[in-house]
Structure 1
Amino acid sequence: MGADTGGERQRKCAAFPSCTGLWRVRYCVHRSPDGYAEAQVKPTYRLVRLAEGMGRTGLGRSAFYAAISDGFLPKPVKLGRASAWPEHELDSVVAAMIRGDSPELLRDLVRRLHAERAHCGRDIAMPG
């Protein structure tokens, strides 16, 4: 399925015809023919529960829920009585925190992530 370097499976990117990048397991760093690289992460659509979400953000329970109330973290997806968070949304917010984005940029990111939920999974072919 492609070159094998350091134990990571790689294959040619099929997302963009002009891309010269390689897929590494779940993502591709898309490269234009002039060498410009832009990381694009393909969401895995995995849900994580509270304990893992707290671990990913480094926040305790009260601070985690306060960040949700303040708009710094995405709201959970309800699974009956349980709640979970889309993994790719938490990863995007943590990356923004690492970059040092301002509080307003974090809120904008969370609003955009919530808006994108309506289109979640539409890129996956549905059986006919």
Structure 2
Amino acid sequence: MSVQTPHRILRMPEVVKAVGLSRSSVYARIQAKAFPAPIKMGRSAGWIESEIQAWIEKQIARSRHSSSGDDESEA
């Protein structure tokens, strides 16, 4: 039997702190389909923590991949 971890919902202040972007930058990236969309909770919204973590991992991988050749040119 597999154990499922419960989903955790983050509110905007936690998202901003986790990703290091401003509130307006988060919403701009959502509009551009470049950031996880929030889920609606009545009149408020929240983000699934695992989706935010996956986005962070993707940014790390993208950054490391694009800068892989830069180290040799600076030596």
The two structures share one fold, judged by TM-score above 0.5: yes
* Contact residue 44 and residue 88 of structure 1 kept, 8 A: no
Could you list the structure 1 runs, at least 4 aligned residues long, displaced by more than 3 angstroms after superposition: none
For residue 62 of structure 2, the aligned residue among 85, 91, 100 is 100
Match in the other structure for 1:126: none
TM-score, length of structure 1 as denominator length? 0.45
TM-score, length of structure 2 as denominator length? 0.74
Letter matched to residue 68 of structure 1: I
Residue ranges of structure 2 left out of the alignment (5+ in a row): 64-75
* Contact residue 78 and residue 84 of structure 1 kept, 8 A: yes
Letter matched to residue 12 of structure 2: L
Cα gap change, 1:98 to 1:43, in 2 (>3 Å): farther
For residue 53 of structure 1, the aligned residue among 4, 11, 15 is 15
Root-mean-square deviation (CA), in Å?
A: 1.8
**Percent identity (aligned):** 31
1:81 aligns with 2:43: yes
Q: Deviations over 1:47-85 (max 9, x none)?
A: 000010111111001101001111111111111111000
Cα gap change, 1:78 to 1:59, in 2 (>3 Å): same
**Which structure exhibits the higher relative contact order, with contacts defined as CA atoms closer than 8 Å and separated by 6 or more residues?**
2
Cα gap change, 1:43 to 1:100, in 2 (>3 Å): farther
Please give the alpha-carbon distance, in whole angstroms, between the structure 2 residues aligned to 1:74 and 1:49. 13
Aligned length: 62
User: Partner of 2:58: helix, strand, or coil?
Assistant: helix
* Contact residue 68 and residue 74 of structure 1 kept, 8 A: yes
Q: Answer with 1 or 2: which has the greater Rg.
A: 1
Letter matched to residue 60 of structure 2: I
Match in the other structure for 2:66: none
Kindly indicate which of the two structures has a greater share of residues assigned to strand: 1
